[in-house]
Amino acid sequence: MHFHFTPTRASWLNQVEIWFSILQGKSLHGASFTSVKQLRKHIDAFIDSYNQNAKPFVWTKAEVHQRPFKGRRIRHL
């Protein structure tokens, strides 16, 4: 079993959007297809090619400076 940690304040969807951005920018931009079958074949070929040298995305996070908690004053009636 492998655990994959999601970066703070990022859902898995944010990470998938990066993949689709790569697919669009390196493969689909300016391309034209006459059928869904042709499009799928093109995408499958790109994935096979991309995966030959794929590397994991490296996530970083800036240092977080926690501010002191300011409690609310509760007025008693």
Q: Is the dihedral of CA 45, 50, 2, 18 positive or negative?
A: negative
> Is 67 or 34 the better-scoring residue by pLDDT?
34
pTM: 0.59
21-65 residue pLDDT tens: 999 999 999 999 999 999 999 999 999 999 999 887 776 667 777
Amino acid at 19: W
Question: Which secondary-structure segment (H or E) carries 38?
Answer: helix 36-52
- CA–CA gap between residue 57 and residue 34 (Å, rounded): 33
Q: Would you say residue 71 has pLDDT above 70? A: no
pLDDT of residue 8: 63
